[in-house]
Amino acid sequence: MADLQNLQSVPHVIPEYQYQEGEYTVTRGSAWSGPGCHLGCGVLIYTDENERLVKVEGDPENPFNQGRLCVRCLAVQDVVNSPKRLTSPLKRKREDRGKDAWEEISWDEAYDIIYESITTLQEQNGKETLFTIMGTGRDISPWLTRLTFSLGSPNCVFAMSGLSCYTTRVVGCIATSGSFWVGDYSQQFPERYDHPDWKAPEVIAIWGNNPVVANSDGLFGHWVVDCMKRGSKLITIDPRVTWLAARSEAHLGIRPGTDAALALGMIDYIIKNDLYDHEFVDKWCYGFEELAAAADEYPLAKTSEITWIPEEKIARAARMIAESDGAVLQWGVSLDMCKEALPTSSAAFAIFAITGQIERPGGMISPSEILRYSAGWGYEELIEKKTPEIAAKRAGVWKPEYGLLRSGISAAHTDTVIEMLETGEPYKLSCLWLQTANPLACTSPDPKRTLAALAKLDFVVAVDLFMTPSIMALADIVLPVSTFTEKDGFRVGDGFQRCETINKASDPGNTKPDTQINLEIGKRFNPEAWPWDNVQEMYGAVLRDCGGIDGTFEQMRDLAPAYLPFEYRRYETGKLRPDGQLGFNTPSGRIELWSSYFANSNLPPLPYFEEPTPGPLATPELLDKYPLVLTTGARSWWSFHSEHRQIPSLRAHKPWPEVEVHPETAEKYGVSDGDWVWIENQRGRCKRVVVVTPTIDPRYVSTDHGWWLPEEKGAMDDGLFGMWDVDCNNLLEWKCGKAGFGSNYKTMLCTIYKVVEGDEHNVWKGDAAYSYAPKKGTE
C-alpha cells in the first residue's frame, strides 16, 4: 500500500506545475499517450496567451529523461496543431462505408447514435456481440477495458496476432518467476546514478531491441549510453548492426526467429562450462536438472547451425553474462514476434536466472508500482463475478490449448476473434469500438483477411486523432480525441516505481480526452460502473482503489514525479510475495525453470525451440522463389507505428518506406540504392525504396511497418490512402503459437524485384476483400 506520505517527490526550482516564462505559460507534465509514445518523458509544455501549443522541451529536473527528448516530442506542436487532425465527431451512412462521405455532428448526436446502435445490436445478439480493439495503447488500457466490461462484454482485443507485443515476455517471466523484470538503470531512484545502492550493470545484453530508437517498455534508450559511460559493456543480438551493436563487445547477427535456440544454446554452454551461480540455483531455482536436459539438445555447433551465428560469438556472449556481477537482459518485441514466443521469453530469462542476475544492483529488478491500473481494470468486478456465463464467452477461453487465457489474463484472443467474424461461431460479433488502433495499416497481419472479417460488422465506432485507412474502411461514427498536451492523466506502469501526471496545457478545441469519452459513454450504458462526475474525480478513485492512496489527482500532480521506496534482494525478506514468505511468487517459492504455471495450463513446462514457419529450414520448397529471410518493423526515429506520416516536418526525414539490403544482395537482385522495389512472398507484396547497407547480413532483408500515404486519396475504391501498395503486413499471416501467443511478424521469407512501369500498384481480384482493392492499375 502506498501512502502519499511514503512517496518521495523531486524538488523543483519552481514548485508549481504551471508557471509563466516571459510570454509563455509553461506546464510541467508527462508525454504519455497520443501522439506517439509509451514512455511519458518529463516535458515542459509552452503555450501562448490563447492556450495554443508553441513548443515542448525536455524537463531537466525530471530524473527519468533528465531534459532529453527525442524528435517526435520536439515536433509535437506540428502534430497537435496539424490541419489534418480530426476536430469534430463524424458520421457516415452504413451504405457509404468506404467512401469519403462524412458529416460533422455534435457530441450529443454521436453519443445518441452509439447508444442506440450498440443497445439494439446487444439486444439482438447478446452483450458479448460488442468487442473493442486497441493497439499498443498508450494510456488507454484501463479506460478501454473498463468500458468494454461495463457494457457487459468480455471482449477487449489487442489487434495483434498472438498478442505478440510485450504480453508474451510478461507471461513468460511470470510463468517462471511470478514477476516481470526490467534492467536496473537506477530508474527507481530519484537520485538516479548517484544513489549509493546502485551500480552500473557490467553487461547489458540487448536482445531483439533497439533502445535508443524505440525507448520501449519503460526504458529510455539514453540510459544504456549513460551506463556505457559508467563502464557497462554491451552484447547485441540482432540481425542488423544497429548503432548500439556497432558499439558492442559482441554483435550476434542472429537469423530472425531463432532466438529460443540461441538462448538454449547459451544455457547449455553456461551449464557445461560450470559458469552458473550454484548458490542461487540451489537455493532459489526449481527444475534446474530438467532445464539442463532441455538445453543439452543445443550444443554450440548445432546452435550455430540454426542461428547462423559463429560458435565463438555465442560462447563469448554466454561467458560475459555468466561472469559479470550485474547483467541486464534488455529484450525487445522481437522476442514476442515469433510463433513460439512464450518458450523464447522463458529461455532468454532462464539465462539470467541461472547466472543469479536477479534482484541485485545492475541486474534485473522488479520495482513495485504506485498504481496498478493497467489492462483489465474492472474484469473481475464487472464480468467475472457478476456474469460468469459471459466470462465463459470471452473469445478463445473455451479452447483447451489456450489455458493461459484462463490464468489471470483478461484479453480476448485476437486470432479467435478473426475466426469468429468469419464463421459467426460460436456467436456473432456485430459491433466494434476501435480506440487507439489502426488494424488495417499497422496492427494486424494480412490486411485483406482482416478487412474482409471486420467489414461484416453492423456498427463500428472509432476514436482517434487522425483519419486512418482503418477508419475510412470501417467506421460509422468517429470521435476526435485530445493529445497529451490537451488533457489530464497519469503515467504509470512498466516497472517504473514512479508516478507522473499528464497535465493539460493547451486548448483541446472540440476534441475530448479518451478518459472523458469513455466516462461519458460508460455512464450512458452503465452509470453504476462509472459513478464519477468528472475525470478528476475518477482519478481520485483510481488512486484509492488501485494504489491505496488517499489523495486527489491535484495532490498527486503536486508531488509528481513521485517515487516509492525501493530495496534489492526482496526474495530474502519476503517482500516479493503477497503472503510474506521468502522467495519468489510461484507455487514452489523459487524461480521455476520447470514451470508449474505452464504445466497447469496444459503447456510444455520447459522452454523449447521451433523452426520459424515459413523459413529456410522449415519450408525449403519456398526457397527457390523466396530465398531471402524477411524481418519487419524495426523502429525508426521519425514515426510511431502508423502515425506521423501526415506531419511534414517528420515525414521529411523519411519520406518513403524502405528495405535494407546488403550490397551483395542488391547486386544479385539487380537493384540499387534508391530504387523502388516490390518485396514479395507467397502471401502478397509491398513497395519499398532500397537502402543498400552493409549493416545487414546478405541473407536477410529488413523493412519498416505501419505505412500508408495520407497524401493519397482515402476512399476504399481509391486504395485506402495507398495502403495496399505499402503495407508490409500484406506479406504476413494470422497464425499464432500453440498457446495462442506469439506470431511471425519478424520472420518470413521473400524476394525483391524492381517496380517497373505498368506494375506500380497491387491489383487484386476475386474474393470479397479483394473488391476493396484500388482501381488504379486494374485492367
Ligand X SMILES: Nc1nc2c(c(=O)[nH]1)N[C@H]1C(S)=C(S)[C@@H](COP(=O)(O)OP(=O)(O)OC[C@H]3O[C@@H](n4cnc5c(=O)[nH]c(N)nc54)[C@H](O)[C@@H]3O)O[C@H]1N2
Is residue 244 a contact point for Mo ion (CB under 5 A)? no
Is residue 481 a contact point for ligand X (CB under 6 A)? yes
Is residue 702 a contact point for ligand X (CB under 6 A)? yes
Residue closest to 269 by CA, chosen among 296, 251, 242, 250: 296
| Footprint of ligand X on 575-634 (CB under 6 A) | 631-634
Is residue 637 a contact point for ligand X (CB under 6 A)? yes
Provide the minimum distance between the beta carbon of 333 and Mo ion in the complex, in angstroms, as a whole number.
Answer: 5
Q: Residue 31 or 686: which CB sits closer to ligand SF4?
A: 31
Interface region with Mo ion, contact rule CB under 5 A, candidates 27-35, 94-102, 161-169, 462-470: 161-169
Q: For ligand SF4, what does the binding mask look like between residues 59 and 98, x meaning CB under 6 A?
A: ------x---xx-xx-------------------------
Is 369 in a helix, a strand, or coil? Answer: coil
Provide the minimum distance between the beta carbon of 27 and ligand X in the complex, in angstroms, as a whole number.
Answer: 18
127 binds, among ligand X, Mo ion, ligand SF4, none (CB under 5 to 8 A by kind): none
Which of 36, 362, 469, 607 is the binder for ligand SF4 (CB under 6 A)? Answer: 36
Is 184 in a helix, a strand, or coil? Answer: coil
Is residue 39 a contact point for ligand SF4 (CB under 6 A)? yes
Q: Is the dihedral of CA 128, 132, 136, 140 positive or negative?
A: negative
Q: Residue 165 or 562: which CB sits closer to Mo ion?
A: 165
Tally of residues, the chain = 779
Q: Residue 331 or 566: which CB sits closer to ligand X?
A: 331
Is residue 163 a contact point for Mo ion (CB under 5 A)? no
Provide the minimum distance between the beta carbon of 481 and ligand X in the complex, in angstroms, as a whole number.
Answer: 4
92 binds, among ligand X, ligand SF4, Mo ion, none (CB under 5 to 8 A by kind): none
Residue 593: partners with Cβ closer than 8 Å, 6 or more residues away: 176, 285, 286, 287, 288, 290, 291, 350, 353, 354, 606
Residue type, 632: T
Which of 514, 592, 675, 697 is the binder for ligand X (CB under 6 A)? Answer: 514
Is residue 646 a contact point for ligand X (CB under 6 A)? no
Alpha carbons 247 and 234: distance in angstroms, whole number: 7
What is the bridge-based pairing of β-strands 327-331 and 203-207? parallel
Distance of CA 38 to the CA centre of its chain: 8
344 binds, among Mo ion, ligand SF4, ligand X, none (CB under 5 to 8 A by kind): none
Which stretches of 405-446 are DSSP H helices? 414-423
Q: Are 642 and 708 in contact (CB under 8 A)?
A: yes
How many residues at the interface with ligand SF4, by CB under 6 A?
A: 12
Which of 657, 706, 737, 742 is the binder for ligand X (CB under 6 A)? Answer: 706
Q: Residue 217 or 476: which CB sits closer to Mo ion?
A: 217
Q: Residue 39 or 622: which CB sits closer to ligand SF4?
A: 39
Cell of 533: 462526475
The conformation of residue 411, written as its DSSP 8-state character, comes to P
343 binds, among ligand X, Mo ion, ligand SF4, none (CB under 5 to 8 A by kind): none
Interface region with Mo ion, contact rule CB under 5 A, candidates 56-64, 129-137, 340-348, 573-581: 129-137
Is residue 165 a contact point for Mo ion (CB under 5 A)? yes
Cell of 97: 462505408
Is residue 287 a contact point for ligand SF4 (CB under 6 A)? no
Q: Residue 547 or 740: which CB sits closer to Mo ion?
A: 740
Alpha carbons 44 and 703: distance in angstroms, whole number: 34
Q: Residue 203 or 465: which CB sits closer to ligand X?
A: 465
| Footprint of ligand X on 181-210 (CB under 6 A) | 207-210
In the chain, the N- to C-terminal Cα span, in Å, equals 67
Q: Residue 40 or 547: which CB sits closer to ligand SF4?
A: 40
Cβ neighbours of 248 (radius 10 Å) = 21
Is residue 647 a contact point for ligand SF4 (CB under 6 A)? no
How many residues at the interface with Mo ion, by CB under 5 A?
A: 2
Alpha carbons 291 and 289: distance in angstroms, whole number: 5
Q: Residue 66 or 150: which CB sits closer to ligand SF4?
A: 66
Q: Is the dihedral of CA 597, 600, 603, 606 positive or negative?
A: positive
Provide the minimum distance between the beta carbon of 366 and ligand X in the complex, in angstroms, as a whole number.
Answer: 19
Q: Are 78 and 648 in contact (CB under 8 A)?
A: yes
Which stretches of 553-611 are DSSP H helices? 553-559, 596-600
Q: Is the dihedral of CA 76, 80, 81, 82 positive or negative?
A: positive
How many residues at the interface with ligand X, by CB under 6 A?
A: 62
Give the CA distances from residue 430 to residues 237, 433, 761, in Å, rounded to whole numbers and listed in that order: 44, 11, 33
Which of 41, 517, 716, 755 is the binder for ligand SF4 (CB under 6 A)? Answer: 41
Strand partners, 58: 43
The conformation of residue 289, written as its DSSP 8-state character, comes to H
Alpha carbons 244 and 225: distance in angstroms, whole number: 9
Give the CA distances from residue 424 to residues 128, 155, 456, 457, 529, in Å, rounded to whole numbers and listed in that order: 13, 15, 10, 11, 30
Provide the minimum distance between the beta carbon of 322 and ligand SF4 in the complex, in angstroms, as a whole number.
Answer: 32
Residue type, 478: V
Provide the minimum distance between the beta carbon of 39 and ligand SF4 in the complex, in angstroms, as a whole number.
Answer: 4
Residue 363: partners with Cβ closer than 8 Å, 6 or more residues away: 184, 201, 326, 327, 328, 352, 357
Residues near ligand SF4 (CB under 6 A) are: 31, 36-37, 39-41, 65, 69-70, 72-73, 215
Residues near Mo ion (CB under 5 A) are: 136, 165
Residues near ligand X (CB under 6 A) are: 33-35, 135-136, 138, 140, 160, 165, 207-210, 213-216, 237-240, 242, 254, 256-257, 259, 332-334, 435-438, 442-443, 463-466, 468, 481, 514, 631-635, 637, 639-643, 702, 705-706, 728-729, 732, 745-747
